[in-house]
Amino acid sequence: KTEGRNRWRAFDATMAQALLYRRRLESDLRDALAADGEGLSLVYQPQFCLNDSRIIGYEALARWKHPSFGAIPPAEFIPIAEEAGMIAELGEWILNRACDAARAWADDLTIAVNLSPAQIFEGDLTAFVKATLDRTGLDPARLELEVTEGVLIDNPERALHVLHGLKDLGVRISMDDFGTGYSSLSYLQTFPFDAIKIDRSFTQGLDETRSKTGLHAEAIVRAVIGLGHAIGIPVIAEGVETQTQFDRLKALKCDAVQGYLIGKPMPHLIDPLPEFDTKIVRIA
């Protein structure tokens, strides 16, 4: 019984520590935003088109270098921003940065920016996106907003209203992490997405020598590509790390790939724009 109590206490202490750490991150993130995003940055990961063998654009991914704790992954600080009511502000900082960066790239390169579901419900996202496009002069067709399935769960009517408003601006909306949520297929029926991104877990399953969890991965990937093409939208595979995965995706007529094999997310590519090293990947 004593042991049980002690274990409880240790658990309490860990919980309290975790809570303190989280409050600290929340307050420091607030400070970072107040200081024009000090410590925050974006990195850009190339997206490679398999049909015409070239880089078509980059996905912007947020990074935060905390003054004391170092790099905090987005999977940790994005939810903190969401829960602390700071996601609109953080999202605005990210979109401003991303559009400014893309404006300096070649005209035919797109920029993909992730939207958190909470951004849809906080503030006037459509007005902000429009203002950012106007300010930067970025062609709306070059901006792609990535949303996950979670975006349509809480308040589908409101989410659909906002997504349609964004599409009316001329930006593209893609479905991120496809296949990992609860009702991916019903979402495809609800909103005219412009692209589907196959989640990394399926891509990794294509490489049987590396993954023991890839049961039926190839059948699933093939079906998702077929589904995208049947509704007339391109399919992009995330998390491509090996030549085997690349070759399978090309054989399955996937439209584009993104992953460490092509390029890791990089901080600066404005001048000069780094050329994808075609030696890394056998394109034929």
Query: Applying CB under 5 A, which residues contact Mg ion?
Result: 114, 146, 176-177, 238
Task: Report helix, strand or coil for 18.
Answer: helix
CB 258 within 8 A of CB 235: no
Nearest to 124 by CA among 155, 157, 92: 92
Within 13 Å, how many C-alpha atoms sit on residue 79's CB side?
6
Nearest to 252 by CA among 228, 221, 281, 208: 221
| Residue range at the interface with ligand C2E (CB under 6 A); choices 24-32, 112-120, 167-175, 218-226 | 112-120
| Interface pattern 250-269 for ligand C2E (x via CB under 6 A) | ---------xx----x----
By CB under 6 A, tell whether 89 contacts ligand C2E: no
* Closer residue to ligand C2E (CB): 11 or 99: 99
Smallest distance, Å, CB 232 to ligand C2E? 23
* Closer residue to ligand C2E (CB): 74 or 123: 74
Instruction: List Cβ neighbours of 28 (8 Å cut-off, separation of 6 or more).
Output: 66, 67
Q: Give the whole-angstrom CA distance, residue 125 versus residue 146.
A: 14
Task: Report helix, strand or coil for 195.
Answer: strand
By CB under 6 A, name the one of 62, 86, 133, 269 that touches ligand C2E: 62
By CB under 6 A, tell whether 74 contacts ligand C2E: yes
Smallest distance, Å, CB 43 to ligand C2E? 7
> What part of residues 113-172 is at the interface with ligand C2E (CB under 6 A)?
114-116, 146
Write out the H or E segment, with its range, that includes residue 66. Answer: strand 54-66
Name the residues that contact ligand C2E, by CB under 6 A: 45, 61-62, 73-75, 78, 94, 114-116, 146, 176-177, 200, 238-241, 259-260, 265
